[in-house]
Structure 1
Amino acid sequence: MSSKKKRNDVGSGPGENIDIEDKINAAMDKIMKDPEEERNSSQRKYEPDNGESETEEYESEERYDSEEYESDEAYDSEEEYESEEDYDPEEEYGSQEEHGEDAEYDEEGYDEPEEGSQDFSRNIKASGKLKSARPQPVKYVPMDDIEEKLALLPENKRKKHKGLKITGLAAAMAVVVAGCAYAGMTYYYSDRFFEGTWINGIDCSGKTAYEVETALADKVQDYSIQVSSRNQEPQMITGEQINYQYLSTGETLQLLKNQKPYEWIKGFYEQKSYTVAENVAYDKTLLQQQVTALNCAKTENQTAPENAYVAFKDNQFQIVPETEGTQLNVKQAYRILDQAVADTQASIDFGTAPDAYVSAEVTQNDPELQSALEACNNYTKASITYTFGDQTATLDGNTIKDWLQFDEKGQLLMDDNTFHQHIADYVAQLAATYNTVGTEREFHTTSGRTVYVYSSVYGWAIDQAAEAAQLAQEIQSGTQTTREPIYEQTANSHGLNDLGNTYIEVDLSNQHMYYYQSGSLIFDSEFVSGNMSYSDRQTHAGIFTLYSKTSPSVLRGDKKPDGTYEYEEPVDYWMPFDGGIGFHDAPWRDAFGGDIYLTNGSHGCINLPPENAAVLYSIIDYNVPIVCFY
């Protein structure tokens, strides 16, 4: 359809303009209609107006609704409308001359409709200029005309439409204001810490990095440290005395850079706490001077520590603990204080730092001291009982503790030389009491006489060196035992007469010998002893034991300068017991016994008849004492 044809289809009279208004009003009613009002209007009863029945009213509206628009297919969008360039308002509507005076809109003659959609419809009907309800082509309407027609809307519709516009405008403004406020706060916190931010105990909400650094600097400006020590009142060292200053490490600024400004709202419900290094600088020379000026560093206020020691108290040995003392280790004390100041500590106690004081060299846990205690307790625990036949001698802690040395405080003085000397003295005392070598014994002879016989080679003799070493070991290990001492020489029995009941009796005065075994005489014989006319040939009195037995043998005298011997005499049985003196056979003699020995005796040996010498040789034992007496 051409543009010209479309223009011809558009009505040109006033009634047609009213029809357009009616369409606009209907569309606005659909947009603006309150759902509640729609429900109420569906139940409303309409009263007849100007003789027209309610039925006619609805029929008119029905016709209007049903024939108002055709389907979208009835129009071709490209043919329906002209372009904006071809549009001519006067051509569309026609001039006033073309339509006549009736086509004019007389604002004064146009009564504003009363409130309510019915009145507005009646006014339109009253005009008598309504045409068919069939939709007409949409005409371009200038904005002034639309505004003029909107002014004809009912009052309540206009108010409601206006309210929605205001609400939408207010909402839009609120969104814009909120967005501006959020952006403004984001910008504000771009160089400030969020609310609820704490650094090193300082509330940094809304502060810049510089302000936080200033607060940290103010925090250490009045720094001081309290120094406590043993037996002294605490003393203060102020930051001013050591030129104490704060140095930034840059950690605060880095925390701020790590903060995302657009997350500023988190600060109002989320609190964060950080710790940064409070780097400080101070004069270490001044700090050294402050340490040496402390009361605890002064000589008159210092006491040296005492070592722990072992003492004998309450009938037992125990360790007396060491004493700490107050002798300050100045160099170590300075190191401890220097570290405390570097860590910005508010106080330091040298008493809790063992390295700050000179320590005792020996503590109660010292391994050597523990060993000494164990040894001392063993001293009192040790018990050695010696047996000497029917006699005993006991060494126990009551005696041993007296061998230990203590100072005026009761501290044990470990002197091994002194202690071992006590042991040696004790063993020597045992030897003096119970040794029989070198003693004189009372002896009852077969002839009924009682004689006293001395011996330097027979009897009991304790090996004092070996016994002292054994005793020291047993004392230190706390040994409890009963035993004999270690002997270097033994006898047949204990007691004053240690000969027992097995012995050989040589009666030099009677020139007769007897061999008793377990108290029974098993052998006897006459003999010839050393010549009494020569002092160097006399047989020695004493108690001896057999050295050896040889058969046959050659007896020789002293060796002469020419290499020969004074004499050489072969014998069949040789049994020495006193150096070169012994029992042997003497076949060259015809008689034995009597007083031959006085002038014609031997060189000191006991000469026996050959047959008797053979018997003695067969029964004599090495350990049998040989008692020789006059």
Structure 2
Amino acid sequence: MNRKKSVIWGLAIFLTIIGIFYVTLSMQYKNQFLPKTTVNGIEVGKKTVKEANQEIKKYYREKEIRVMENKKELFTFTGKDIGVTSEFIKPLDKEIRKQNSWSWPIKQISSNHAKLIIKNLTFEDSKLETYISSLLLNQENRTKPSNAEIIKVDNQFSIQPEVKGNFLDQFRVVELLKESFKEGDSKLDLKQAYEKPGILASDKTLESKLGELQKLSELSVVYTITGSKEVVPRETLVSWLGVDEANSITVDKIGVTAYIEGLSVKYSTYEKTRNFKTSKRGVVNVPPGTYGWTLDVARESELLATDILLGENIERTPLYNGSGYSDNENEFGENYIEVDLASQHMWVYINGQRFLETDIISGKPKTPTPKGVFYVWKKDRNATLTGEDYATPVDYWLPVDWDGVGIHDSPWQSIYGGNNYITKGSHGCINTPPTVMSKIYNQVEVGIPVIIY
């Protein structure tokens, strides 16, 4: 009986001791992390918040990460190098309050221990920047990335692939260093910090622009100028086409302007000597005057550049300035006035037929009538012609240049033709018999060419 009581008392004392031990440790784990607890993979079991904080800080200060590039180690660094400054007291305190301190026996023997994650890592920016700037990243020998782009070679457009390069994005390097600590990595690949091209060869917009350029390269561009055809050569058209930095299709307006200027030089008549088939003396050379036309290079170049971008075949008659443009190379048309100074004679042609002809008196030798191709730019009745030493009224006045020379009646003259101009010549005008002048005035229109040779 006594033996039985002894066993019972012994068991009671044992259980009491176990209970006290259990309660004591449970109270202890109110301020300590449960066994085998980890924070960000760092063992903090049986440590207080303060002790765990020191352990984690020490871990991150001493944590070493290897930096690799092309399977070669460039350098290593620690948290201390890049200024890890984190304090974990608050998040640790929050986590310890959530744990069940009475479960310590289970945690002690279980493999399913607490794995806590605290994302509270901070860095001293100035120290991190200083460290990055001290690294020998050899940027001057690295290749910068370049975008894929449309190029032109031998009058053909194609896409030149992007260059990936190995130039480092400094901001990305900083972010990688931070991320390697936060993620618990032991090494990082510097390739992840390479600057990347913004446009790849597979870019759909780039491919679309290439298709547009190839289509524009095959356009037919034809000019009709005074009855002649001028076809823009394909290589010339292609030389105008290109793309800007935004990969927008462009037309080289300087090149277009040079081409239109070339056409103007070839076809324009203004300020050029002409061959003229006369009434009596065959074909003669007539120097330039006020009559003639030239291509409107500025406006025509702008319009052509715009039309090309529309992507349709082009047939144009160019814009021009001046007078005398004709679709059939007949510059003077069917209506014109012809003055032969040598024979002192004038013809007027209307609708291709001789309307009248008459002797005239031109400028005297000291003030000769200018030779050239002119046109009547105004019609006046009862005008007074003035100069330095004269003021002469006339009934009919047809000015042909900008210096006061024109055709008018001259009632003061009694004889016309011959060599009378030597002694009775004008200040440069074409003196015409009054009865004939009235017929001319009433028949001709402003703009009629006047060829004087």
Following superposition, the deviation at residue 625 of structure 1 comes to: 0.9
From the superposition, tell whether residues 298 and 289 of structure 1 become closer, same or farther in structure 2 (CA, over 3 Å).
farther
Cα distance between partner residues in 2 of 1:388 and 1:466: 16
| Aligned: 1:427 with 2:260 | yes
From the superposition, tell whether residues 334 and 434 of structure 1 become closer, same or farther in structure 2 (CA, over 3 Å).
same
Following superposition, the deviation at residue 544 of structure 1 comes to: 1.4
SS at match of 1:516: strand
Question: What is the aligned partner in structure 2 of residue 451 from structure 1?
Answer: 284
Cα distance between partner residues in 2 of 1:604 and 1:502: 23
Structure 2 length-normalised TM: 0.70
Cα distance between partner residues in 2 of 1:254 and 1:613: 116
Question: What is the aligned partner in structure 1 of residue 47 from structure 2?
Answer: 209
Higher RCO, 1 or 2 (CA under 8 Å, sep at least 6)?
2
Question: What is the aligned partner in structure 2 of residue 569 from structure 1?
Answer: 392
Cα distance between partner residues in 2 of 1:617 and 1:399: 50
Cα distance between partner residues in 2 of 1:390 and 1:552: 42
Following superposition, the deviation at residue 503 of structure 1 comes to: 1.4
| Aligned: 1:304 with 2:148 | no
| Aligned: 1:346 with 2:346 | no
Question: What is the aligned partner in structure 1 of residue 116 from structure 2?
Answer: 275
Structure 1 length-normalised TM: 0.53
From the superposition, tell whether residues 442 and 277 of structure 1 become closer, same or farther in structure 2 (CA, over 3 Å).
closer
| Aligned: 1:190 with 2:31 | no
1:310-365 deviation line (CA, Å, top 9, x unaligned): 421485445545534334466863564255336643232332234xx6x78xx538
Cα distance between partner residues in 1 of 2:42 and 2:254: 80
From the superposition, tell whether residues 331 and 435 of structure 1 become closer, same or farther in structure 2 (CA, over 3 Å).
closer
SS at match of 2:67: strand
Q: Which amino acid aligns with 1:617?
A: Y
From the superposition, tell whether residues 364 and 280 of structure 1 become closer, same or farther in structure 2 (CA, over 3 Å).
closer
Following superposition, the deviation at residue 613 of structure 1 comes to: 1.7
SS at match of 1:455: coil
Following superposition, the deviation at residue 432 of structure 1 comes to: 1.8
SS at match of 1:341: helix
From the superposition, tell whether residues 183 and 445 of structure 1 become closer, same or farther in structure 2 (CA, over 3 Å).
same
SS at match of 1:297: coil
Task: Give matches, 1:63-78, under 5 Å.
Answer: none
Question: What is the aligned partner in structure 1 of residue 273 from structure 2?
Answer: 440
From the superposition, tell whether residues 464 and 196 of structure 1 become closer, same or farther in structure 2 (CA, over 3 Å).
same
Unaligned runs of 5+ in 1: 1-165, 560-564
Following superposition, the deviation at residue 307 of structure 1 comes to: 3.8
Q: Which amino acid aligns with 1:606?
A: I
Cα distance between partner residues in 2 of 1:185 and 1:196: 14
Task: Give matches, 1:31-430, under 5 Å.
Answer: 185-192=22-29, 198-200=37-39, 208-209=46-47, 213=52, 223-229=63-69, 231=70, 233-234=72-73, 237=76, 249=89, 255-261=95-101, 273-277=114-118, 297-298=137-138, 302-308=141-147, 310-313=150-153, 316-318=156-158, 320=160, 322-328=162-168, 333=173, 336-338=176-178, 340-341=180-181, 344-354=184-194, 363-364=198-199, 377=213, 380=217, 384-395=221-232, 398-402=235-239, 422-430=255-263
Question: What is the aligned partner in structure 1 of residue 412 from structure 2?
Answer: 588
Following superposition, the deviation at residue 554 of structure 1 comes to: 2.0
SS at match of 1:427: helix
From the superposition, tell whether residues 249 and 383 of structure 1 become closer, same or farther in structure 2 (CA, over 3 Å).
farther
The structure carrying a bigger helix percent of its residues is 1
Cα distance between partner residues in 2 of 1:467 and 1:313: 28
> Highest CA radius of gyration, 1 or 2?
1
Q: Which amino acid aligns with 1:499?
A: F
Cα distance between partner residues in 1 of 2:105 and 2:166: 59
Cα distance between partner residues in 2 of 1:203 and 1:344: 10
Aligned partner of 1:611 among 405, 425, 435 = 435
Cα distance between partner residues in 2 of 1:576 and 1:278: 95
Contact residue 306 and residue 322 of structure 1 kept, 8 A: yes
Q: Which amino acid aligns with 1:535?
A: P
Question: What is the aligned partner in structure 1 of residue 358 from structure 2?
Answer: 526
Cα distance between partner residues in 2 of 1:203 and 1:338: 18
The structure carrying a bigger strand percent of its residues is 2
Following superposition, the deviation at residue 458 of structure 1 comes to: 2.0
Cα distance between partner residues in 2 of 1:602 and 1:242: 102
From the superposition, tell whether residues 455 and 198 of structure 1 become closer, same or farther in structure 2 (CA, over 3 Å).
same
Following superposition, the deviation at residue 305 of structure 1 comes to: 1.0
Contact residue 527 and residue 607 of structure 1 kept, 8 A: no
Following superposition, the deviation at residue 465 of structure 1 comes to: 4.6
Q: Which amino acid aligns with 2:72?
A: E
1:135-173 deviation line (CA, Å, top 9, x unaligned): xxxxxxxxxxxxxxxxxxxxxxxxxxxxxxx9xxx99x9
| Aligned: 1:539 with 2:373 | no
Unaligned runs of 5+ in 2: none
From the superposition, tell whether residues 525 and 345 of structure 1 become closer, same or farther in structure 2 (CA, over 3 Å).
same
Cα distance between partner residues in 1 of 2:77 and 2:424: 118
Q: Which amino acid aligns with 2:378?
A: S
Following superposition, the deviation at residue 434 of structure 1 comes to: 0.4
Q: Which amino acid aligns with 1:624?
A: I
From the superposition, tell whether residues 506 and 272 of structure 1 become closer, same or farther in structure 2 (CA, over 3 Å).
same
How many residues matched? 426
Contact residue 407 and residue 431 of structure 2 kept, 8 A: yes
Question: 497-506 vs 239-248, which deviates more?
Answer: 239-248
Contact residue 587 and residue 610 of structure 1 kept, 8 A: yes
From the superposition, tell whether residues 495 and 280 of structure 1 become closer, same or farther in structure 2 (CA, over 3 Å).
closer
Cα distance between partner residues in 2 of 1:507 and 1:238: 100
SS at match of 1:580: coil
Q: Which amino acid aligns with 1:577?
A: V
Aligned partner of 1:621 among 445, 448, 452 = 445
Q: Which amino acid aligns with 2:199?
A: Q
Q: Which amino acid aligns with 2:236?
A: T
1:477-504 deviation line (CA, Å, top 9, x unaligned): 7685333333232315256652222212
Q: Identity of counterpart residues, as a percentage?
A: 23
Cα distance between partner residues in 1 of 2:350 and 2:358: 19
Contact residue 463 and residue 488 of structure 1 kept, 8 A: yes
Q: Which amino acid aligns with 2:47?
A: A
Contact residue 242 and residue 284 of structure 1 kept, 8 A: no
Cα distance between partner residues in 2 of 1:555 and 1:628: 21
Q: Which amino acid aligns with 1:275?
A: L
1:372-410 deviation line (CA, Å, top 9, x unaligned): x79x9498477653321211223365214446899xxxx
Following superposition, the deviation at residue 215 of structure 1 comes to: 8.9
Aligned partner of 1:483 among 304, 316, 322 = 316
Aligned-CA RMSD value:
5.3
Cα distance between partner residues in 1 of 2:219 and 2:301: 15
SS at match of 1:189: helix
